[in-house]
Amino acid sequence: MQTALGALVLAAPLAAQPGWAQNAQEILIVAGPRTPESLDQEYPPTEAVHELRRNVNERLLTYEMKKGEDGISYEDFSKVAGALAESWEVAPDFKSITFHLRSGVVSGAGHPLDADDVMWSFERGWNLKSNFHWYMTQILKIEDFDTAFEKIDDMTVKVSIPNASPLLEKLWINSDLGILDSDTMKEHLTDADPWGQRWLATNSASFGPYKVTKYAPGQEIIYEANADYYRGAPKLKKVIFREMPTSANRLAALQAGAVDVAEYLSPRELSMLGQMPGVTINKVFGNFVHRVEMQNETPPFDNPKVRRALNYLVPRDEIAKAVYFDTARPTKSPISEIYPAFTEEYYDFGNDVEKAKALLAEAGLPDGFQTELGYRTGDQLEEELAVILKTAFAKAGVDVTLSKLPASTLVERYTKGQIPMYFFRDMAIVPDAAYVANLWLNSNSLIDYSRFHSDEVNELINSALTSTEEEKRLSDMKRVQQITMENAPWVFLFNPGYQLATRQNVKGFSWYTPNGNAWFDFYKE
């Protein structure tokens, strides 16, 4: 209680300042679990970083939006629209795309957009060999920068790739591929830091609806509107994001009216808030996955029968009610359920203890085995899941040691293959089955942390990344799902959905694949 009250005291001074009170309709105060770890778009993406990029770094292309039956706006994956590029052409052979930049676009620093900004952003990303480089080499198979990227004139840029790609157009919608204001960036380059990594880690320079005017890691980040944003000035002139790591504090702040928005509350807290007047709970199922990954190269998890056995031990109905309060759906495929080519045809993991025991016996483990399951310190939901799974696995003789670890330690251990089982939550932000499969199932992927390997899956994914025959791609991705479910590289748990709690006067909630809130869409009544 004292901690919660402390959070409210921290928030109170804003409301007390006369200047703020006069503009309350134009200011949004948000409580979230953590501030972005870096403002540089080459930093590895996290949930907090994804939200930052959605609001600051404008992209070349976007999706049109459509209203769902629930009244929430969603991306229409069938309709690509222009963003910084007013128009574009994809070559008939799907080996090049030409962008014609929108005139009159101005950055948060007041600099007009031109082809030099685009080319400099491409060159920076390529040379830093991080996010941009990964997309270009792993998805578009680009090998040489000078061959691939060309400035045609002051407002036109062309990208050429060695093989056809069905993602040549959609990839540029990705929030990781925002265009930087090169004029601003060049003011902060040094011989020791030729690409401005040090400066961009704590500052923003792009053409989006907001710019960052204060960045205090671990405390708060303040966004101020880009009045010259090409889609029009944002309704919210300032967004103040406060870090409150404990969800109980975020809940208390929202209840007291000290914040307008509370991110990532627990299902239990959301269930309680749903009965409270003056608060709105926005819910979408989206594309999150929450699962337990097993180290497929470490015995006994190198045996698919062991991995399948654990899947038959999960009491999903109990978890859905006791942990998620019916806000989640079981994950039934490695492919996001809202994306084309998804099928649940190969999912058969009911709660069947006898079947699990039989599989373990066939694997030579009739008495079970000992193992370890890692989860994040401070993550109440994962702790609840871990306790339930420990009890469930014990019914087949699987003795699980639960390891509560700082997030950084857990990530370090599973990226190095040093922990046999661990919770993993992520989302694939390009709505394409081959893209999703490439992320998590291709042996060459940087994030195939479970070390799953199938030569056939690798071949099917690599083929689908360069094929433009849509029927064959769909067929190949169906086969990938079949192989994956048969081999069960993970303990398939739930799509937890995305929920956002707001004060009732906050409107404009919309959903995008990175699950980050787009403050441009929000307004206050």
Q: What angle do CA 109, 228, 29 make, to 5 degrees?
A: 85
Instruction: Give SS3 for 126.
Output: helix
The per-residue pLDDT for 9 is 39
d(CA 446, CA 291): 18
Rg (alpha carbons) of the chain, rounded to whole number: 24
Q: Which two tokens stand for residue 30?
A: 């948000």
Sign of CA dihedral 93, 95, 100, 105: positive
Comparing CA positions, the residue from 456, 506, 447, 450 lying closest to residue 479 is 456
The per-residue pLDDT for 384 is 96
Contact (CB, 8 A) for 524 and 507:
yes
Q: Which two tokens stand for residue 162?
A: 């060695």
If phi > 0 it is left, if psi is from -120 to 50 it is alpha, else beta; for residue 71 that is left
Contact (CB, 8 A) for 60 and 125:
no
b/e map 461-486, b = 16+ CB within 10 Å: beebbbbeeeeebeebbbebbebbbe
Measuring CA to CA, how many Å separate 189 from each of 75, 116, 118?
37, 16, 17
* Tokens 């409150």 belong to residue: 244
Q: What angle do CA 383, 384, 385 make, to 5 degrees?
A: 90
Greatest extent of the chain over all pairs of C-alpha atoms, in Å: 72
d(CA 331, CA 460): 22
Q: What angle do CA 106, 168, 62 make, to 5 degrees?
A: 40
Residue 16: count other Cβ atoms within 10 Å of its Cβ: 8
d(CA 264, CA 244): 11
Bridge pairing between strands 73-82 and 61-67: antiparallel
Measuring CA to CA, how many Å separate 284 from each of 234, 499, 509?
24, 6, 10
pLDDT tens for each residue of the chain, 525 residues long: 334 434 443 444 444 333 444 488 999 999 999 999 999 999 988 889 999 999 999 999 999 999 999 999 999 999 999 999 999 999 999 999 999 999 999 999 999 999 999 999 999 999 999 999 999 999 999 999 999 999 999 999 999 999 999 999 999 999 899 999 999 999 999 999 999 999 999 999 999 999 999 999 999 999 999 999 999 999 999 999 999 989 999 999 999 999 999 999 999 999 999 888 999 999 999 999 999 999 999 999 999 999 999 999 999 999 999 999 999 999 999 999 999 999 999 999 999 999 999 999 999 999 999 999 999 987 889 999 999 999 999 999 999 999 999 988 998 999 999 999 999 998 999 999 999 999 999 998 878 999 999 999 999 999 999 999 999 999 999 999 999 999 999 999 999 999 999 999 999 999 999 998 999 999 999
Residue 74: count other Cβ atoms within 10 Å of its Cβ: 18
Q: Which two tokens stand for residue 492?
A: 């398939």
Q: Give the burial class of 340: count Cβ atoms within 10 A of its Cβ; 0-12 exposed, 13-18 middle, 19 or more buried.
A: middle
b/e map 290-314, b = 16+ CB within 10 Å: bbbbbbbebebbebbbbbbbbbbbb
Enumerate long-range contacts of 98-105, CB under 8 Å, 24 or more apart: 98/152, 98/156, 98/157, 98/158, 98/159, 99/60, 99/156, 99/157, 99/158, 99/159, 99/172, 100/155, 100/156, 101/155, 101/156, 101/157, 102/230, 103/155, 104/230, 105/58, 105/207, 105/230
Bridge pairing between strands 288-294 and 421-427: antiparallel
Q: CA torsion, points 442, 146, 160, 171, in degrees to nearest 10?
A: 50
The per-residue pLDDT for 20 is 42
The per-residue pLDDT for 470 is 93
d(CA 317, CA 494): 11
Q: pTM score, two decimals? A: 0.89
Bridge pairing between strands 220-225 and 210-216: antiparallel
The per-residue pLDDT for 45 is 83
